Amino acid sequence: MKVRGILSGVLMGATVLTGTFASSALAAEKITVGALRFTSHAANFVAFEKGYFKDAGLEVEFKFFQAAQPIAMAIASGDVDFGLTAISGGLISLADKGAVKVIGGALQEEEGIDGQMILASKTAFDAGMKSPADLKGHSFGVTTAGSSFHYVAHKIADKEGFDRKDIKIRPLQKVGAVIGALKSGQIDAWSIVPHIAKGLSKSPQIEVIGRVSDYVPNYQVTTVFTSTKNTTDNPELVKTFLSAYSKGVADFNAALVDKTAGDAAAEDMVKLIHKYVYADRPFEKAAPSIRNGAMRLNAGAALNMASIEDQLKWFRSENLVPTGVTLDKLVDTKFVETL
């Protein structure tokens, strides 16, 4: 009886331990993803809503921001694990300090697909600013100095042949503040992704005067990034995240960019995105902007290195980042295909 009791106890203990290990193995890894409420961030929303993150063993919480630079700061501090947004001066400076790394591409300008538009206030338009060539001497709204908006403004100046200083950069911190300033004529111009630009263009206070792709062809608009610690200490987590995220990319492109998934899939995709983008509007009003604003997301999170290098060169030329920062400090190329 004693032997039987001992064996019973051992078996029971083994069962408990096995159950504990199984629960541990199946426990999802909690991560926080920084995002903006833009259609360009839809792949993360798709991966979450369709269970791709969950299937990969990730429990995702979104943390929403109003501009790109704060996401980089949140990655560096450990408040956010993965971010998806444009390269900013803050991101590059943090990469130079060894805090963050770009690990993939997200949104890219592509010929034949509507991309970012250059907008003018009606006041400036009526006063003669009819195209980007007329930007000399005018103000251009940005969220922060060193943002993607700032980069685009200077690329326009470079191509049109006037000094960068002849565009007056107006940092306004938040996208909403830039929109308000443009509508009221407090700033003369701005550039923004199509799901916002097309809606604004219907306003009597705003005119479309150009396209960013004419000034920055194949522009890698946004990237995926994480902490350097994740890339070195937890590369499997990075691979897992990118794999699940890329499934969201594929679904988004098929539904709204290539339109190969069918009308029903496109409608379902718009409804899914509406939970995060223009959620304060009725679906009927939000849907056209979401549909019309669909730009190509990089398949497999592939990264256009030539575009990243050009952006880094601009940041250095404007003394917005440390002069010694290099491409390999900014980008870890081992996780995705590079173009």
Taking only the tens place, the pLDDT of each residue in 299-320 is: 999 999 999 999 999 999 999 9
- How is residue 207 annotated by DSSP? E
Is-same-fold flag (30-110+219-330; 117-214)? yes
Which SS3 state, helix, strand or coil, does residue 128 take?
coil
Q: What is the pLDDT of residue 336?
A: 97
Note the pLDDT of residue 199: 84
Every domain of the chain and the residues it spans:
30-110+219-330, 117-214
Q: What is the pTM of this model?
A: 0.84
Number of H helices, E strands in the chain: 15, 10
Amino acid 248: pLDDT:
98
The architecture of the domain spanning 117-214 is 3-Layer(aba) Sandwich (3.40)
**Spatial separation of the C-alpha atoms in residues 75 and 269, rounded to whole Å:** 29
Name the token pair of 108: 């890219």
Burial of 110 from C-beta contacts in 10 A (0-12 / 13-18 / 19+): middle
Q: What is the DSSP string of 65-118?
A: -SSHHHHHHHHHHTS-SEEEE---HHHHHHHHTTSEEEEEEEEE--TTS---EE
Output the 3-class SS for 147-159: CHHHHHHHHHHHH
User: How many Å apart are CA 325 and CA 95, to the nearest integer?
Assistant: 8
Q: Which residues of the chain have pLDDT under 50?
A: 1-25
pLDDT value at residue 194: 85
Q: Taking Cα atoms as reference points, which of 86, 51, 55 lies closest to residue 72?
A: 86
Cα–Cα dist 11/70, whole Å: 53
Q: Which CATH class is domain 30-110+219-330?
A: alpha beta
The confidence score (pLDDT) of residue 26 equals 57
Q: Please state whether beta strands 139-142 and 168-171 pair in parallel, antiparallel, or not at all (unpaired).
A: parallel
pLDDT at 231: 98
The angle subtended at Cα 250 by Cα 42 and Cα 339, nearest 5°, is: 100
